Amino acid sequence: MFCPQCGSPNDDAHAFCKQCGASLRHGETSAPVPPVTTPPTAAPASGQATRYANFGQRLLAVILDTIVVCIVAGVIGTMLGLVIGVGGTMTGGHVGAGADIAGLLGLLAGIAVDWLYEALLVSSSHQATLGKMALGIVVTDMQGRRISFLRATGRHFGRLLSLMLLLIGYLIQPFTPKRQALHDIMAGCLVLRKVPR
Segment 99-158, tens digit of pLDDT: 677 778 778 888 999 999 999 999 999 999 999 999 999 999 999 899 999 999 999 999
pLDDT exceeds cutoff 60 at 43: no
Q: How far is CA 166 from the centre of its chain?
A: 18
pTM of the predicted model over 0.85: no
- Using an 8 Å Cβ cutoff, are 182 and 170 in contact? yes
Q: How far is CA 135 from the centre of its chain?
A: 12
Question: Rounded mean pLDDT of 34-42?
Answer: 45
Q: Give the number of residues written for the chain.
A: 197
Report which of residues 79 and 130 the model is more confident about. Answer: 130
Question: Rounded mean pLDDT of 65-91?
Answer: 81
Look up residue 105 and give its amino acid. Answer: L
* 144 burial level (CB within 10 Å; 0-12, 13-18, 19+): buried
End-to-end CA gap in the chain: 26
- Using an 8 Å Cβ cutoff, are 135 and 57 in contact? yes
In the 8-state DSSP scheme, what is residue 176? S
Task: Residue 139: name the closest of 66, 61, 71 by CA.
Answer: 61
